[in-house]
Amino acid sequence: MADIPSPGAGGRIIRWIDYRLPFVGMLQHELYEYPTPRNLSYWWNFGSLAGIMLVVMIVTGIVLAMQYTPHADLAFDSVERIMRDVNFGWMLRYAHMNGASMFFAIVYIHLFRGLYYGSYKQPRELLWILGVVILVLMIATAFMGYVLPWGQMSYWAATVITNLFSAIPWIGQSIVTLLWGGFTVGNPTLNRFYALHYLLPFVILAVVLLHLIALHRFGSNNPLGIDMKGPQDSLPFHPYFTIKDLFGLSVFLLIYAFFVFYAPNFLGSSDNSIPANPMQTPNHIVPEWYLLPYYAILRSVPNKLLGVIMAFGSIFLLFIVPWLDTSPVRSARFRPIYKWVFWLLVIDVVALGWVGANPPEGLVVTVGQIATLYYFVHFLILFPVIGKVERPRPLPVSIGTAVLEPSRRTPLGGAGAPIAKP
């Protein structure tokens, strides 16, 4: 608590409260003074963006819940009622619908940034693991939210995905019955998904809080991947990073608003404007774009149980990334081999997305199987091996010297050149 301004009555009240409940002081410390590496690039904007999107989703979601009817016979019409007759209902609904896509886009960039700069390495392993927990919760929440409008794709996505659990030996079918609340996807399924869709975002919020506590323990990683060693390496969070985050936020909102107002259905499926019909299966059952890579892995494995294990495994692999990567160096900028191999993973995931979006025939199947194989090879073989065989470039002495003295700046390519000046 360096200095809380305004010595007047207001200041006295704040000091009185803070003496007993050190909340203002905590905020002062964590949001104002909080020392942040001075060389953070714009790739570090996505954490705060993700936090803001979570709040946007919760707020729009709660207001939508006030108008929505979770019943198999009424859900579809109640959503149309929101779109047509609720004041600005169309805006709320489109903001929520496209917000999910934006949230995932942000989180995926955030995740790949962490992979590129080694943000998961000692001492940030738990920070990373909590992030993966958030991703898993987000996938579950998004999937259940997609079921709520009770359109054709809602219904059939629910059917296909819940059926995955039937691959589990012995207890699989019982789990599916439990998920459905019956012997087919129906009103009880919709009701429990609605309850969970309302609950899980608050669980995410709690894990985000833990994620932030873990983050603030050691502070942000940075493009150089070396620790802050003194005051010359850092800047106070406010005003330097509040303004940088605000600038990034305004650019992001421009993209988000474009989708909400001018292309609200671009990322969705037209089949979901048809009410759910258990008697008629759509031609292609396709999940939302952000789940396509997992779906591609699932379909690329000929055995159902193995496919389910590998699709889930593709996410759970992320939990052990801190121990799969054997390199002592964090940032890919100083890792001559990993720097390139990283982009293979990006291409691989994009390829998996394309495979998931197309009907599995011909080339799609081949690409899907190669890409699935590569995904696991990347994490289970390349990660440990490259860390051992690669000879990292020498690291700079400190962030301050690397950033402030241009003569000593290492001339390197790769994503995100050091931001000395904006």
Partner 1 sequence: MPKHLLAAAALIAAICAAPLTSGVAEEMPPLPRQEWSFFGIFGTYDRAAAQRGFQVYKEVCSACHPVKHLYFRDLTDLGYTEDEVKAIAASYQVNNEEANDQGQIYQRPARPSDPIPGPFPNNQAARAANNGALPPDLSMIVKAREGGPDYVFGLLTGYKEPPADFKMLTGMYYNEYFPGHQIAMPPPLNDGAVTFADGTPATVPQMAHDVVTFLTWAAEPNLEPRHRTGFKVMLFLVIAVGIFYATKRKIWATAH
Show which residues are catalytic: 216, 220, 244-245, 288
By CB under 8 A, name the one of 140, 235, 380, 412 that touches partner 1.
235
By CB under 8 A, name the one of 113, 124, 211, 244 that touches partner 1.
244
Question: Comparing C-alpha atoms, which of 355, 349, 363 is closest to residue 299?
Answer: 355
Judged by DSSP in three states, 179 sits in helix
Q: Which residues pair with 52 in a beta bridge?
A: none
41 near partner 1, judged by CB under 8 A: no
Instruction: Output 91 or 320, the one with its CB closest to partner 1.
Output: 91
CB-based contacts of 380, cutoff 8 Å, min separation 6: 317, 324
Which among 101-109, 160-168, 286-294, 367-375 is the span making contact with partner 1, rule CB under 8 A? 367-375
Distance from C-alpha of 210 to C-alpha of 360, rounded to nearest angstrom: 41
Counting residues that bind partner 1 (by CB under 8 A) gives 56
Instruction: Output 15 or 81, the one with its CB closest to partner 1.
Output: 81
For CA atoms 183, 185, 188, 189, the dihedral sign is positive
289 near partner 1, judged by CB under 8 A: no
Judged by DSSP in three states, 121 sits in coil
Instruction: Output 175 or 274, the one with its CB closest to partner 1.
Output: 274
377 near partner 1, judged by CB under 8 A: no
By CB under 8 A, name the one of 201, 348, 356, 375 that touches partner 1.
348
As given in the structure block, the two tokens for residue 20 are 């007993």
Distance from C-alpha of 171 to C-alpha of 162, rounded to nearest angstrom: 14
Instruction: Output 21 or 350, the one with its CB closest to partner 1.
Output: 350
Which among 154-162, 164-172, 215-223, 269-277 is the span making contact with partner 1, rule CB under 8 A? 269-277
Count of other CB atoms within 10 angstroms of residue 262: 8
Instruction: Output 134 or 224, the one with its CB closest to partner 1.
Output: 224
364 near partner 1, judged by CB under 8 A: yes
By CB under 8 A, name the one of 163, 273, 369, 398 that touches partner 1.
273
Question: Comparing C-alpha atoms, which of 157, 179, 155 is closest to residue 292?
Answer: 157
274 near partner 1, judged by CB under 8 A: yes
Which among 17-25, 29-37, 46-54, 236-244 is the span making contact with partner 1, rule CB under 8 A? 236-244
SS (H, E, C) 370-419: HHHHHHHHHHHHHHHHHHHHCCCCCCCCCHHHHHHCHHHCCCCCCCCCCC
Judged by DSSP in three states, 226 sits in coil
240 near partner 1, judged by CB under 8 A: yes
Instruction: Output 198 or 256, the one with its CB closest to partner 1.
Output: 256
Structural Rg of the chain based on CA atoms: 24
340 near partner 1, judged by CB under 8 A: yes
Look at phi and psi of residue 362 and say left if phi exceeds 0, alpha if psi is from -120 to 50, else beta.
left
Question: Comparing C-alpha atoms, which of 192, 199, 157, 195 is closest to residue 177?
Answer: 192
250 near partner 1, judged by CB under 8 A: yes
By CB under 8 A, name the one of 74, 91, 139, 175 that touches partner 1.
91
Consecutive H or E run containing 215: helix 187-218
Which residues contact partner 1 by CB under 8 A?
38, 77, 80, 83-84, 90-91, 94, 235, 239-240, 243-244, 246-247, 250-251, 253-254, 257-258, 260-262, 264-265, 270-271, 273-274, 283, 337, 340-341, 343-344, 347-348, 350-351, 354, 358-359, 361-364, 367, 370-371, 374, 403-404, 420-422
